[in-house]
Structures are given as C-alpha cells and as structure tokens.
Structure 1
Amino acid sequence: MANTTFEIVKKKSYRAIGLKWDGPWSDIQQLKQVIQTMSERAGELEGRVEPNMQLGLSYHERPDGFIHYSMYEVTEEQPVPEGMIEKYIPELTYFVTNHEKGADIGETYYKISRLLMESEYKAYTEPNVMYFEDTLPIKHEKYPHDRDLQDPHFEIWIPIVKK
C-alpha cells in the first residue's frame, strides 16, 4: 500500500450468510479455523452473489477482542444452512483500498486511519452500539478464494460518514 490508492464507494444494503466468531484476542487461532470452515462450506450457499469473495466483517464491540462474521453476500432466496446465521448490512459509504501481498496488515490499517483523519470522513459506527476501538471500529474485508493464507491479499472496506 505504498501509494495508498483508495476510492469512496456507496454500496446498497445486502444480506450475508455465514459463521460468527465472538472472542478475545487471545483466541485468535479459533477465528482462523472459523474462516477456514466457512471457506470449506461455501458450496452450501448456492445463492452467493460473488462466489469467489469471502467476507470478513469485524466489529470491535468487546474490550478484549472483537466479533467477526465470516460470510458470503447472498440473494434473498438463499436459505440459511444448519449452523450458519444471516446478517443484513445497511446501505453504507465505504473507504475502499487493497491490502497487498507481502505488506504488513497493521501498517495498512494505520495508513487508512491516517488518511481518514486527514479527510472529510470519519469511521461509521452503528447507533446505540459501544465500540472499544476508536479509529476503525468496523472493518469489512473481502478475501479472494485464491489468496495465500500465510500472506493474504484482500480488499478493505471501512464504513464511513462525513465528519
């Protein structure tokens, strides 16, 4: 993300189905297993809108960790398979950029925080929800199926509003 190209994108509300993980930072290994399991179960979702793009929706609503939804965007007709849940994402405006293979994820998010601070936007937060991460309390990521799990590349979608 050396040159940090980004765009501001408005995305209509959508429905997603997948698995939820709610845990502390110390249990982050469990999250990797949830993401892997969701990837393996993707075929159960025939109504996937972008079949090769797995979503990682993170919400920093815990002081010791976060809530993560490993999902796929799906059609309204898609039934919810056993053990999965559905989540509706409202229409939002996003700061969209790419995390490149070989780059440091922490550094990528730091640069996004800096760019937002210097812009006319700030991170969006849901009404009546307490967050424990100030700069980027909600992080949406889109992972291509062909990613390298040890050194992934992916799209970052940060919900934003005007300051």
Structure 2
Amino acid sequence: MLIIHARELSVMSQHEQMNLNLNLEEPGRAADTEVSSGDVVLYELPAFEAVGLKWEGTFAGAKAGEIRDLQEELKSRLSEIPKLTQPDTLLGLSSHVLKEGFLHYAAVEVPEEAAVPGDMVRIRVPALTCAKFEHKKGQSIGLSYSHVYAWIEKQGYQAAGGEFTHIELYPMNQDTHDPNPEFTILIPIS
C-alpha cells in the first residue's frame, strides 16, 4: 500500500506547465473568447483521506483519454471500497508536475484509516486554501483553468507548491468519457 503525504516540491509552476500543454482549441466545439459563467471564490478544503488508482503519464496520454479510462476503472470497482464518505463525487487529484507529465489519482473520499484494496492507494490530502471554480458543461477547459490562474494572480496569491497542484471534483454519475464534462476546479494557493 502506498501512502501519499503533502510535501514541497521544486518544479515548474502548474500555470507555466498548463500554458505549455493545454490546447485551448478543443475539438468538436467553437472557440470561446471568455469563460461565460461563475466566479472564482476562496474555498477552505478540509483535510481528508481518499482511496483510488494511481496514473503517471504524459500530457499527451491524458489528452488521449488515459485518465478517463482510469476514472472508468475506479467507478467499476467502487464495490471493492468498503465505505465512501462522499459517494456522489469522483476525485481527480493531480500532483508533481514533471517536465513531460504528471501523477494523477482517480479517487473517492473515505473515512480515516479505511481499508485499501490491494492495488489501490491511500491518499492523504491536507487542509488547503483553494481557488474554486465551477466549470460548466460545454465551456473550454483550457480557458476555465486560465481564468482561475489569472484570478489567483490578480488577487495577489500564487499557486501553492505542495503535493497537489490541482483537484477536480466530478459528479459520480457523469459519463467519464464525456468530451465536455462539468466539474469543480480547486487550485491550492498560498
């Protein structure tokens, strides 16, 4: 069993990495010129534990659907996890921006010290202050992230350099392969 703890990393900032890797023109949709709804707000995320599956790969692999496949696998195996604290929410926990990729965990929140199925991992997420944005179905994901990072900078904050570079909260009943999903974006800040 792997246990993940938050720690400081000296890596390229998430915003710099996303600028290099996000394609703001997404296939199958008209290009947006701005994010159309919702405001970025400060959000205090309480500490929690999660259990899930680990993925390590490239931005190209993520764009090709590897993370969505991981999410689908986790959803098909939820019965293996004894108790879920937030059964309606699928977590996407991204970490360690590397030169060519990152680590990602498809996970669900569980009670403290819950049992972990054999090939899954326990993830401990510390309490975090985050910039929070509700990304709506059909909006440009790249523009939504750019909007959040611009807000962070404008408010005088910076993306925190801790373990988790961004957290996404998906409705559990949403199709994981929907090309235009809705989800909540949480960017830890300092």
Asked if these proteins are the same fold (TM beyond 0.5), I'd say: yes
Instruction: Report the Cα offset of residue 106 of structure 1.
Output: 0.4
Which residue of the partner structure matches residue 132 of structure 1? none
From 168, 172, 176, the equivalent of 1:141 is 168
The partner residue of 1:35 within 71, 81, 85 is 71
**Alignment partner of 1:109 is 2:138:** no
Same amino acid, percent of matched pairs:
30
Which residue number corresponds to residue 56 of structure 1? 92
Pairwise CA distance, 1:32: 2.0
For normalisation by structure 2, the TM-score amounts to 0.74
Separation in structure 2 between the aligned mates of residue 105 and residue 55 of structure 1, nearest angstrom: 17
Query: 2 CA distance for matches of 1:111 and 1:121?
Result: 14
- Unaligned 5+ runs, structure 1: 130-136
Asked if 1:70 corresponds to 2:97, the answer is: no
In structure 2, what is the Cα distance between the partners aligned to 1:85 and 1:113?
29
Q: Does 1:125 align with 2:161?
A: yes
1:8 aligns with 2:42: yes
- Aligned counterpart for 1:91 among listed residues 110, 127, 137: 127
Which 5+ residue runs of structure 2 have no aligned equivalent?
Answer: 1-34
**CA separation in 2, counterparts of 1:49 and 1:12?**
13
Mapped to 1, the partners of 2:78 and 2:189 lie a distance apart of 29
Q: Deviation per CA, 1:23-68: give whole Å up to 9, x if none.
A: 1123223222111101111222232111010000112431101110
Q: Compute the displacement of 1:77 (Å).
A: 4.1
1:134 matched to which residue of 2?
A: none
Determine helix, strand or coil for the equivalent of 2:158.
strand
SS of residue paired to 1:15: strand
Q: Determine if contact 1:47/1:77 at 8 Å carries over to the other structure.
A: no
Is the strand fraction higher in 1 or 2?
1
Matched, 1:155 2:189: no
Superimposed CA distance per residue, residues 57-102 of structure 1 (whole angstroms, 9 cap, x where no aligned partner): 1124311011101001110142001210001011111111111001
The Cα of 1:142 is off from its aligned counterpart by 0.4
| Superposition misfits of 4+ residues, deviation over 6 angstroms | none
**Match in the other structure for 2:12:** none
